[in-house]
Structure 1
Amino acid sequence: MKTKVLLLFTAIAVMSCGSHSKKTVSQAQSQQLDDLMANKSFEIVSDWASPLATSSLNSVANAGLMGPGSNAGHINLIGNSNYLRIEGDSVSAYLPYFGERQMGGGYDSDNGNIQFEGVPEDYEISQDEQTKRYEISFKIRRKAENFTVRAILMPNLSSTFNVNSSQRFPIRYQGKVSKISKEE
C-alpha cells in the first residue's frame, strides 16, 4: 500500500512539474496592439519604476523614505502622473525619476523628472513575428541631456522600457500601452 501511495505521489509530482500554465493573449488584445502601432498613436502609462539600486538609493530605502510596497529597486508609480507618448513621428514623455544624477541638472523646472518632447533621432520599430511583440528604440535630446529609449510592447498590452541618459543612471519602467487619453 505504501508503495502505491508513494508511486502515485511521485507520478503527480512529475506531471505537475512538467505542466506549467502559459499566459494566453486574446486575439482582440493582439489586434489592438497592431492597430495602435499602425496608427502610430499610443501612450504607455507605467505602474512601476526600477532604478539602478545604488548605495545612495539603498540608504534612502533603509531610512524608510520609500512609499508602501516600494524598495530601492522597484518603486510603485500607481497614482503618479507619468506617460511616454508616440504620436506620428513625435514623442513626448513625463516620467518620475528615481536614482542618481551623474552630472549637470542645474535649477531646471523639470523637478528632477525625465521630460522630453519632439521628433526623435534613429527611430526604429520592429515586430518579432513569433512572439508578436514590438520593439521601439529612439534617441532624443532635451537641453544638454541626451536620452536613449528602448521599449518592448507585448501582445497582452503590457510594456517595459528602459531610459538611458547622458546625465543619470539608467531606469526601467513597466506598465500598459493604450490609446492616448484625452485627459491632461
Structure 2
Amino acid sequence: MKLNFRYLVILIGGLLINCCTSSKTVTSKVQIKQLEELVASKSFQIDSDWAMPLMTNSMNTLSNAGLLPVGSTGSQISLIGNSNFLKVEVDTIAAYLPYYGERQMGAGYSINTNAIQFKGIPKNYEVTDDEKTQSKKINFNINNKTESFRVFITISPNLSSNITVNSSQRFSIQYRGNAEPLLSVK
C-alpha cells in the first residue's frame, strides 16, 4: 500500500510542478526585428479573418436566426472570403472593414454604410512598444465624410494583429488577422 501511495505523491507533485511552470512564448530576435522594420516602414497591410462585434441582443437575434456566415457566432464572425483591409502607406491610412453591429446614429440615405471605410492622413498617430508581449501598438484618429474613428492596432512579433475601431456612430468592433509588408512597385 505504501508503494502505491508514493507513486501517487510523485504523480501529484509532478503535475503541480508542470502546472506551475511558465508557458511564456519564446519570440525570436528575427521576429522582433521584422516587426520593428514593418512598423517603422509605414508600408504594410492588415487582412482580417475574424470580426468580433459587441454581443448585443440584436447580434444574438441575427445569430439565432442563422443570418451570419457559416462557422460564425454573434460575437465572432468569419471574414474569410470577404474583402477587407487596413493599409498603411507612409502618411496615408486606408481601410475597408465589414461592419457587424449596431449603429448608434443614422448616417443619411445616400451613403454606403455597410463597412467601416476611410482614407486619409490620420491625426495623433502614435506607435508604442509593449515590453511584456514584445508587440507594437499603433493608435490614431481618422475621419471620413460622416464619422470619426479612433483606431487601436496591436501587431505581435509573429505578425498576427488585432484592430479595435471605436466610431462616433457605431458600437465598437474588433478585427483579428495578420499584417504583411506592402510590395513596392519600382
Using the size of structure 1 for normalisation, the TM-score is 0.91
Residue in structure 1 matched with residue 117 of structure 2 by the alignment: 115
Q: 1:108 to 1:31 in 2, by over 3 A?
A: farther
Partner of 1:48: 50
1:179 is matched with which residue?
181
AA aligned opposite 2:129? Q
Q: Deviations over 1:26-55 (max 9, x none)?
A: 332222111111211111111111101110
Q: Which residue of 2 aligns with 1:25?
A: 27
TM-score by length of 2: 0.90
Unmatched 5+ stretches in structure 1:
none
* Cα distance in 1 for residues equivalent to 2:169 and 2:183: 30
Q: Are 2:107 and 1:105 equivalent residues in the alignment?
A: yes
1:101 is displaced (CA, Å) by: 0.9
Equivalence map 1:3-152=2 (5 Å)? 3-108=5-110, 110-152=112-154
For the 8 Å contact 1:122–1:137, the answer to whether it is kept is: yes
Q: Distance in 2 between matches of 1:134 and 1:140?
A: 19
RMSD across aligned C-alpha pairs, in angstroms? 1.7
Amino acid at match of 2:34: Q
SS of residue matched to 1:68: coil
Q: Name the SS of the counterpart of 1:69 in structure 2.
A: coil
Return 5+ residue gaps in structure 2 as ranges. none
Identity, % of aligned positions: 46
Q: Please report how far the alpha carbon of residue 2 of structure 1 lies from its aligned counterpart in structure 2 after TM superposition.
A: 2.0
Return the alpha-carbon distance in structure 1 between the equivalents of residues 22 and 70 of structure 2.
32
Report the Cα distance in structure 2 between the residues aligned to 1:20 and 1:127, rounded to whole angstroms.
Answer: 22
Report deviation, 1:20.
4.3
Q: How many residues align?
A: 182
Q: Shift in Å at residue 71 of structure 1?
A: 0.5
1:72 positional shift: 0.6
Q: What is the CA–CA distance in structure 2 between the aligned matches of 1:36 and 1:110, rounded to whole Å?
A: 32
Note closer, same or farther for the CA distance 1:181–1:64 as it changes in structure 2 (3 Å cut).
Answer: farther
How far does residue 144 in structure 1 lie from its aligned partner after superposition? 1.7
Kept in 2, the 8 Å contact 1:133–1:154? The answer is yes
The answer to whether the 8 A contact 1:26-1:156 is kept is no
